[in-house]
Structure 1
Amino acid sequence: MATETKEYTYADVAAHDTKESIYVVIDEKVYDVSAFVDEHPGGEEVMLDVAGQDGTEAFEDVGHSDEAREILSKYLIGNLKRSESDPKPVTISRAAASSSGDSSSGGLPGIVYAVLVAAVAAGGYYYLQLQQQQASA
């Protein structure tokens, strides 16, 4: 017998947009990443930028590793039941613009964006290496 998967509406997800309760949609799946917010290598602000939203584009634009995707899978709570009126996925530029408070800037300049992505990737790699060392010790 197959396990029934819970379905969430976009309104259900949108109600969880605080540090204490973060739901995010990635590829039509709903994740409760509240317990991971303090451990996220990119910092809590990155996650809060997409809290309660569809973060698929932001997640993919960063280029998360297979290990990051494996970690994400632990927080899966169900599928998104999307309607035509639901907002589209958040892009990196919109998330960055909203976090800086300047939505008229249209996002970060190219070099800042590149440095930010590299820093997040390096932080993620370092974090995962530490986790593997601790697990094997």
Structure 2
Amino acid sequence: MGGEPKVYTLDQVSEHNNSKDCWLIIHGKVYNVTKFLDDHPGGDDVLLSATGKDASDDFEDVGHSNSARAMLEDLYVGDIDPATVPASQVQHTPLEQPENNQNKTSSNFMIKMLQFLLPLVILGIAVGVRLYNTKST
């Protein structure tokens, strides 16, 4: 598949809005999800209700797995012309890459470690101060 990707207007994408022909816009890319409607874990209604608008927030809010994100590659048909999407619908959040998930996991790990270690440090200081005061008197 060489050359430039096809660019579609919002009106063109909106025409593909039924169970026999369903297209979505996610992060500026257009996907034909028709063949996936029956297999979508959330049901076909979720996908059909997202036609004719930018579905990026809906896609991200669910927390799709990396394998779900990879499936999008097979469904890609082109890009959306941003000039045809109302500013209120344009989403600028890029698709998460695996390394972003790793950073989130590392951050979550560090937060949990601090939540565990900080009380231990405070307890250690309190015991140390108590022992110091006991020896001083």
Tell me whether the two structures share a fold, i.e. TM-score over 0.5: yes
Q: CA RMSD in A?
A: 1.8
Equivalent residue letter for 1:73? E
- Aligned positions, number: 89
Q: Structure 1 pair 88/7, CA: closer, same or farther in 2 (3 Å)?
A: same
TM-score between both structures, scaled by the size of structure 2: 0.60
Q: By percentage of residues, which structure has more helix?
A: 2
Equivalent residue letter for 1:61? D
| Structure-2 residue corresponding to 1:107 | none
What is the deviation of 1:83? 1.6
Q: What secondary structure is seen at the aligned counterpart in 2 of 1:79?
A: strand
Cα distance in 2 for partners of 1:88, 1:58 equals 12
| Structure-2 residue corresponding to 1:15 | 15
| Structure-2 residue corresponding to 1:57 | 57
Cα distance in 2 for partners of 1:17, 1:84 equals 17
Equivalent residue letter for 1:78? G
Unaligned segments of structure 2, at least 5 residues: 92-137
Cα distance in 2 for partners of 1:56, 1:35 equals 20
| Structure-1 residue corresponding to 2:78 | 78
Unaligned segments of structure 1, at least 5 residues: 91-137
| Structure-2 residue corresponding to 1:97 | none
Cα distance in 1 for partners of 2:57, 2:42 equals 16
